[in-house]
Structure 1
Amino acid sequence: MKQAYKDIKKSFYRRKAGRTMQINDNYKIEADELNVVLIRRRVGQEGKSMGVEIWEPVAYHTSLKSALKEFARREVHSTELTNLRIIVQKMDEIEKAIDKLVIVEGKL
């Protein structure tokens, strides 16, 4: 997994324009020259955004590594830390998601 991370990191930082990495259905990472932003998908619950898919920034980082660590932390905490087997399964899911990362160029 370390080599896969290094390859992703090289490719991610090499790009000059807007960069986006879709991690899973609920998280993606976007970056510019100054920030790496962890973004979470949610569905609006009230007002004009009710029922609308919204991508909102949840954490700003200075490196891809710290953004991926934050993603992992949030995913593990979503298990509510109640069962070791569930936590291990979640960690396996996270590792697979990171191994599948694809970088998409586009405007930020």
Structure 2
Amino acid sequence: MGTFKDEKDVIVGKAKEKIGEWTNNEELAHSGKEQAHEGQIKKEHDQKRVNELEDQNDERDARNDRTTPENVSSEELLRAENPDANKISSADRRDADQLKHYTGIEDKL
């Protein structure tokens, strides 16, 4: 992962290093090697941070997971056993929502 700038630094640094080697310009080769190394370190740091955030997100999702047996209602279990039984077309859902809204039922629910 990493940013485009980090990727650019790696590529440009490697190019500078090769050009410096071909032209016997040790200063250019050295600066290219440093630039490529810094870009690689930044990319690795960014990837570590992304992995940490993904782990934190996974832990939060696991804590909030409602599929543990003590948190699952019998209605949810029935839906899980027969998922096709509860499928409603979008038109039917829209009509039901409009009916609730116009009759004032949703205020009482």
What is the TM-score normalised by the length of structure 1? 0.22
Name the structure, 1 or 2, with higher relative contact order (CA <8 Å, separation 6+).
Answer: 1
Q: Work out which of the two has the higher radius of gyration on C-alpha atoms and give 1 or 2.
A: 2
What is the TM-score normalised by the length of structure 2? 0.22
